[in-house]
A and B are shown apart, each in its own frame.
Chain A
Amino acid sequence: MNIAVCVKQVPATDSRIKPSVHEDDIDRTDISYVVNPYDEFGVEEALKIRDRLKAGSVTVITIGPEKAAETLRSCLAVGADQAIHLKDPSLAGGDAYSTALVLAAAIKKGSYDIIFFGKHAVDSDSGAVAIHVAEFLGLPHVGVINQLIINAEEKHAVAHRQIEGAIEVVETSLPAIFTCQKGLNEPRYATLAGIMKAKQKPLTVFTLDDLGLTESQVGSKGAKLVVERLEVPLARKAGVILEGDPDSAVAELVRLLHEEVKVL
């Protein structure tokens, strides 16, 4: 069973985010990066399946500049077998559509039974890339799973997803795409031995040519969405708590709504 996990390098969750000077991106100076936490659930699930079946391999795939290789090596340190880095200047500025097109092209070059994504990346929060990839590849997709049972012989899987007030159980044939939610597993720590070995594991770079795509299809040129501007939300004024017994508080509330806010 060969498994691919698409991972993304994102700003650490405790980073202070502000718009860049041109307001078309965030200011990336002094930001430290981590593996998208939901992608880590995908990596862990892949490793668990591989270790249980004692067969197949786990490939991690990312798009990004040179720095994004750190994310791949972090995943290799945790136990992934190989990595694919989709690195080309033209890939910058993609939206979910153009990003998915590139990932789909890379996934097509391999042969995978399971493809994991995080349920969304904690930076752009769109949660759309995996669904687009499923569409491009014509594969079934089960989103936001918190349990997965794989039947390797039958090439069949049962996934659980938490929905409002219930758990939905979805069966699918493989290959299929799954996006991972918290609760699916507890990602393991890298070991010292894993960290030392990470650099020796295969890390393949694919450029646009390798993927058989053209510049106009990918990155900002291929994007359907254009970011017009990023801005910091206006700070909201603190609310007012009306003290006193309910009768006088309600009277005061009505007065405020009538005279100050002017909605009554």
Chain B
Amino acid sequence: MIDFTFTEEQTMIRDMVRKFAENEVKPFARQIDKEQNVDLVKSLFQKGAALGLTGIPFPEAYSGSGMGEVGYCILLEELSHACASTTITFGAHIGLAGMSIFLAGTEAQKQKYLVALAKGEKIGAYALTEPGAGSDAANLQLTAKPDGNHFILNGTKLWITNGDIADIVVVYTLTDPALKARGGITAFIVETNTPGFSAHRIHDKMGLRGSSTAELVFQDVRVPKENLLGELGRGFKIAMETLDESRLSLAAGCLGAAKEMISMSVDFAKKRIAFGQPIAGFQAIQFMIADMASEVYQMESIIYRTAWLFDQGKKIPREGAICKQFCSEALDRIVDKAVQIHGGNGFMGEHPVERYYRDSRINRIFEGTSEIQRIVIAEEIFKKGGY
């Protein structure tokens, strides 16, 4: 009735990405974090793109490999074992920028932009958040006004992942202030070399220190009409549908890190001697490991079940939100326990758990806070019924 095994291709992808993460990414993760080295992440992104990693979920017709959401979750899970900054760089590119165009683009837009993103020849970003529109995304103020065959964009986007390394940004704009989310928001594909566009990197984040995060400023940026994504006024729907998927993949990006924390904590607990024996012998430690393992099992179960649902063509607003809320919070509990098991060592910048602890925190905030996820889940249940 139910088969939870990966196919041979999925297993091969997992093995390949695991090797790639272990050999190419992990050795640089500390340097990436300490130096806030976005260039290094970009070079890893390009190495991965050459292997086809950037096209995993998209159909072969768009230079992807047609491995769907399950394949994409495998990618982010395996990368997140090694480096959160690298994981999110791939995630924003594939799951946000690429996915927006895949879900809503015309055939011509897909051929022009999605193919370049799937091949990794161009880097993508997704710009929804603004200084005054985070959780309240519908309150965005960046305007797009029609002008002949163009729209003219003016305003600011904030905290945009890949913002200053992107060639293509999917930008959500206000086209009708009276309608807002009910028909007043429109998405555009903007090439970042368009005059009037500028990106300014934001430094000194708590975590994900090697990923690019930028403020994007639009000053009379002229975007051709054919770059309007989907229909006029239907942008909010695209933004939300993209987020349904990306929330799931974000959860997958928590899973590898969580597994890594268990391995590191177990290794440490076996070696660390206190009161004359390895601390692995103490129930206090064993119970923490047990709780970490049960949460990882739950994470893995809901992520791949939901990825399978998505690949069956089902909409996953409720399930995507559940995955994001549960997995981001579970990872925070897991990294906290990992630091606790490591004791003073876990507080020191020399030890990787300190980095995983910092990198974990943002997951409960971006792409919809935990609170927003709960609102989405509850709304879905009240609207459509429970189970």
Contacts and interface: CB of A to CB of B under 8 A. Distances in A.
Interface of A: 34, 70, 73-74, 77, 189-193, 195-196, 198-199
A196 B19 contact: no
B162 to A, nearest CB: 21
Contact of A73 (B12, B53, B56, B67): B12
A193 B52 contact: yes
B66 A196 contact: yes
B283 to A, nearest CB: 24
Contacts of A192: 13, 51-53, 55-56, 65, 67
A131 to B, nearest CB: 30
B8 A73 contact: yes
Contacts of A34: 15
Interface string B39-77: 000000000001111011000100001110000000000
Interface string B62-102: 00011100000000000000000000000000000000000
A74 B15 CA distance: 10
Given A34-B15, A73-B8, A192-B67, 9 more contacts: A74-B12, A74-B15, A189-B20, A190-B16, A191-B52, A192-B56, A195-B9, A195-B13, A199-B9
Contacts of A70: 8, 11
Best-buried of A189, A190, A192 by chain B (most CB within 10 Å): A192
B65 A193 contact: yes
A126 to B, nearest CB: 26
Contacts of A199: 9
9 contacts: A74-B15, A77-B16, A191-B52, A192-B65, A193-B65, A195-B12, A195-B65, A196-B65, A196-B66
Interface of B: 8-9, 11-13, 15-16, 19-20, 50-53, 55-56, 60, 65-67
Nearest to A188: B51
A198 B53 CA distance: 17
A192 B56 CA distance: 8
Nearest to A196: B65
A195 B12 CA distance: 7
Contacts of A189: 16, 19-20, 51
A70 B19 CA distance: 17
B188 to A, nearest CB: 30
Nearest to B16: A190
A192 to B, nearest CB: 3
Nearest to B19: A189
B59 to A, nearest CB: 11
Contacts of B60: 196
B23 to A, nearest CB: 9
A35 to B, nearest CB: 10
Contacts of B8: 70, 73
B4 to A, nearest CB: 16
A77 B13 CA distance: 10
A191 B51 CA distance: 4
A74 B20 CA distance: 15
Nearest to B71: A192
Nearest to A187: B19
A199 B19 CA distance: 21
A70 B9 CA distance: 10
Contacts of A73: 8, 12
A196 B15 CA distance: 14
A77 B9 CA distance: 10
A198 B15 CA distance: 15
A193 B56 CA distance: 10
Q: Which 9 A-B pairs rank lowest in CB-CB distance, beginning with the nearest?
A: A192-B52, A192-B65, A195-B12, A190-B16, A191-B51, A191-B52, A196-B65, A189-B16, A189-B51
Contacts of A74: 12, 15
A77 B11 CA distance: 12
Nearest to B52: A192
Nearest to B66: A196
A79 to B, nearest CB: 12
Contacts of B50: 191
Contacts of A196: 9, 60, 65-66
Contacts of B12: 73-74, 77, 190, 195, 198
Nearest to B9: A195
A87 B192 CA distance: 56
A192 B14 CA distance: 11
A198 B55 CA distance: 18
A196 B13 CA distance: 10
Contacts of B20: 189
Best-buried of A34, A74, A190, A191 by chain B (most CB within 10 Å): A190
Best-buried of B19, B65, B67 by chain A (most CB within 10 Å): B65
Contacts of B13: 192, 195
A74 B11 CA distance: 10
A254 B52 CA distance: 65
A199 B66 CA distance: 15
A6 B20 CA distance: 25
Contacts of A191: 50-52
B50 to A, nearest CB: 8
A137 to B, nearest CB: 32
Contacts of B65: 192-193, 195-196
Contacts of B53: 192
A70 B11 CA distance: 10
B328 to A, nearest CB: 28
Best-buried of A34, A73, A74, A195 by chain B (most CB within 10 Å): A195
A195 B9 CA distance: 6
Nearest to B47: A189
A195 B66 contact: no
A190 B10 CA distance: 13
